[in-house]
Structure 1
Amino acid sequence: MTNIVVLGAGYTGMAAAIRAARKSRRHGGRVTLVNASPRFTERLRLHQTAAGQRLADHSIEGVLAGSGIAFVQGWVESIDPQAHEVRLGGGRVLAYDKLVYALGTGTDVSVPGVGEHAFRYDDHAGAVALAERLRSTRQGTVVVAGGGLTGVESATELAEAYPRLRVVLLSRGRPCSMMGPRARAHAERAMRRLGVEVRQDTQVVKVLPDAVELEGGELIDSVATLWTAGTRGLALAREAGFTVDARDRIVVDAALRSVSHPDVYAVGDAAAVSQPFGVMHGTCQGGIPTGLHAGGALADELRGRTPKPFRFGYFHQPVSLGRKDAVIQFVRADDTPRKGWLRGRWAIMYKETVSGSPIHSFKLLKRGLMPAAALKLSSG
């Protein structure tokens, strides 16, 4: 038997584990999936959780039922690539022949106070904690730091759910700057309609328990600060000796294998994946395809075949603007905007289709009823 250990049961790790198990079973593959939590977290919907919405609760074991994949709940403390071992909390050790590193990224806490005082979407508990804080707050200002798509989704969702609160979006540049002018203008109108106060060209230098400090010394009082302004890989990969980039993502070759340890695949946000247009940025849209590719590549290796190179191109930028609006920017393979875009009711329908829960798709993939290509197209 070949022991394949997958670290992380998010969108990407789940896709890698299911595909590896299905395609390698007849060739001696045995897959173990490791995750710190027993529940599957829909990271694309954490802004809805923060707004107090109750989403379906899916157990990882329930999703994996019938797949032959062994699930181990545990926190990964270290990886020893020379000994081919993963050390978990409580002194447990897992041996592997092949490893898939799908632990994603965490919030960049390099700005003073972010780690201590800001709410973050690093896990489901962080979104729940923010919801609990806002539910008990009658008035005041909520600061959302970061003008990317996650920041815009969060600011509009929170403003719609908590109209009694003032929501301020702080951005280094123009929010939704990666979109075309018409889609961006629609997002800006939605923020104005919902009362989101946008402060662009703004740099936060410190997060305090009840405020944020801007460059220049201005303070904005805040009953809660949500930090969405950047991520980086976990120190775990660097400490294990893997070659990483400046953001601690594992550098991989064309087949998604670590350039320093080719028996390790790195996928999703945790990997620095080069394509003809440059290094991919972390999204579910790109993450699930890397997981599916790694699962298939592992099966190829077990059959004595050379894994094929990974190829990917972006297709869209779907953004919810509260529960009653959305905007979709269609893009070229390098993620630059095309002319096509959607708004309003049609955008809501599109967003719910491509960014809806992947649980049903995972179950079909597990049973061999959904081709990997179809799951790639359905990933938001």
Structure 2
Amino acid sequence: MTSKANGKHIVVLGAGYAGLTAATRAGKHNRVTLVAPETRFRHRIRQHETAAGHPARRPTVAEVVRGRGVRHVRARATELDLAGRKVLLDTGETLAYDTLVYALGSRTAWHGVPGAAEHAYGAERAAEVGERLRTADRPGTVAVVGGGATGIEMATEIAEAHPAWKVRIVAAGRVGGWFSARGRAHVLAVMAGLGVEVHEQATVTAVDQDGLDTTAGRIPGDVVVWAASMEPLPLAAEAGLTVNAAGRAVVDRYLRSVSHPDVHVIGDAAEVTVPGTGTLRMACATALPMGRYVGRLLAGRTGKPFAFRYAVQCLSLGRREGLVQLIHGDDSMRPGVLTGRTGRLTKALIVNAVVRSLR
């Protein structure tokens, strides 16, 4: 299947890893309108650095799309008219399209936990966390909810940057429990060295201004950071795209909506199943290849179905430590890991390469 979209109008919703990558590549041979309220690229895999108070290193959207046929409209999509091929924006503008690329990503999922949305900071508010820690009258306690990659990176980065604060990580399961035995052991050892208090098998049942209620008891927290899980934005389901039970749009082998083939869905918003690999998880590691693929498809540079295999999983564990977990192509764990300076530098190289790969 070779794209026939060349020279037509493509609207891309979202300027994250998937959306920007698709726009820059499709914009080489098409007229592209990129809809996103941000003026700077939101480098999500560096949010833990922002939360710890480190300077943000993010290019502007204008820098990334320079020299391509991409017009950036600073707005949010509020409604999709799929039958009429139109996007309604919060500015009152309506955009007609020949092909739509839906790449609105995901947001913090609160799971209906009482007080969570009111008293906890989602990962999107990392800059507010950094400001809160910097301007507090006195050090206190930080409770990071979530034992996944985001929670681990948040807890270790904050603990290292703010040693006067007591940092706790709270997980419904095991912290880093999906890693190999060596990988998880390294994560826990680094946390112990940084003084991070680990609470496992503790499901949060409520949040208030003083901390958390959990199935394992009360856990104090002057600042609560919620890094438990993410969910897709509801616009795809509201518009009538076929979605799974979690709200992710179901796509075919060419990353087209199974119900509306003139709409490509990529990144965290999409449920993508690749033969031999499985259903892809929400991650920068999967969003970038999706964006590259759709951009090349719409530019007429490929006609093959989307293919993907995982390479590694990696974590920052503060400024001096890191973990690179070796994995199989289907995302299952190998025993081997890279740690220490090697792990940290490898993760840094990967993170820095992400911005270059957007174009």
User: Shorter chain as normaliser: what TM range?
Assistant: over 0.9
Q: How does 1:179-328 map to 2 (within 5 A)?
A: 179-215=179-215, 218-276=217-275, 277-300=277-300, 307-328=303-324
Larger helix share, 1 or 2: 1
Aligned to 2:4: none
CA 1:284 to 1:57, structure 2 compared with 1: closer, same or farther past 3 Å?
closer
Say whether the 8 Å CA contact 1:42–1:357 is kept in structure 2: no
CA 1:114 to 1:187, structure 2 compared with 1: closer, same or farther past 3 Å?
same
Say whether the 8 Å CA contact 1:101–1:265 is kept in structure 2: yes
Aligned to 1:91: 92
Offset of 1:206 from its aligned partner?
1.2
Supply the distance in 2 between the matched residues of 1:273 and 1:114 (Cα, whole angstroms). 30
TM-score (norm 2): 0.94
CA offsets 1:305-332 (integer angstroms, 9 cap, x no match): 8x42111111111111100100110100
Say whether the 8 Å CA contact 2:13–2:35 is kept in structure 1: yes
Say whether the 8 Å CA contact 1:203–1:215 is kept in structure 2: yes
Query: Which range moves more in the overlay, 51-60 or 351-360?
Result: 351-360
Aligned to 2:35: 34
Supply the distance in 2 between the matched residues of 1:139 and 1:56 (Cα, whole angstroms). 27
Aligned-partner SS, 1:355: helix
Aligned sequence identity (%): 43
Matched, 1:176 2:176: yes
Aligned to 1:114: 116
Aligned to 1:374: none
Matched, 1:59 2:65: no
Supply the distance in 2 between the matched residues of 1:210 and 1:104 (Cα, whole angstroms). 31
Aligned to 2:346: 350
Supply the distance in 1 between the matched residues of 2:223 and 2:286 (Cα, whole angstroms). 31
Letter in 2 for 1:318: C
Supply the distance in 1 between the matched residues of 2:355 and 2:230 (Cα, whole angstroms). 25
Supply the distance in 2 between the matched residues of 1:76 and 1:219 (Cα, whole angstroms). 41
CA 1:286 to 1:57, structure 2 compared with 1: closer, same or farther past 3 Å?
closer
Aligned to 2:8: 2
Say whether the 8 Å CA contact 2:176–2:184 is kept in structure 1: yes
TM-score (norm 1): 0.89
Offset of 1:112 from its aligned partner?
2.2
Offset of 1:361 from its aligned partner?
3.4
Q: How many pairs were matched up?
A: 350
Supply the distance in 2 between the matched residues of 1:213 and 1:77 (Cα, whole angstroms). 36
CA offsets 1:73-122 (integer angstroms, 9 cap, x no match): 10111111111111111211111110111110111122222222211123
Aligned to 1:13: 19
Supply the distance in 1 between the matched residues of 2:229 and 2:203 (Cα, whole angstroms). 13
Supply the distance in 2 between the matched residues of 1:33 and 1:165 (Cα, whole angstroms). 41
Supply the distance in 2 between the matched residues of 1:273 and 1:57 (Cα, whole angstroms). 28
Supply the distance in 2 between the matched residues of 1:292 and 1:360 (Cα, whole angstroms). 13
CA offsets 1:106-158 (integer angstroms, 9 cap, x no match): 11122222222211123xxx111111111123222111000001111110001
Letter in 2 for 1:6: V
CA offsets 1:170-212 (integer angstroms, 9 cap, x no match): 1111111111111211111000000000010110011212211
Query: Which range moves more in the overlay, 105-114 or 282-291?
Result: 105-114
Aligned to 1:369: none
Aligned to 1:375: none
Supply the distance in 2 between the matched residues of 1:118 and 1:313 (Cα, whole angstroms). 35
Aligned-partner SS, 2:27: helix
Supply the distance in 1 between the matched residues of 2:23 and 2:58 (Cα, whole angstroms). 20
Offset of 1:39 from its aligned partner?
1.0
Supply the distance in 2 between the matched residues of 1:286 and 1:359 (Cα, whole angstroms). 15
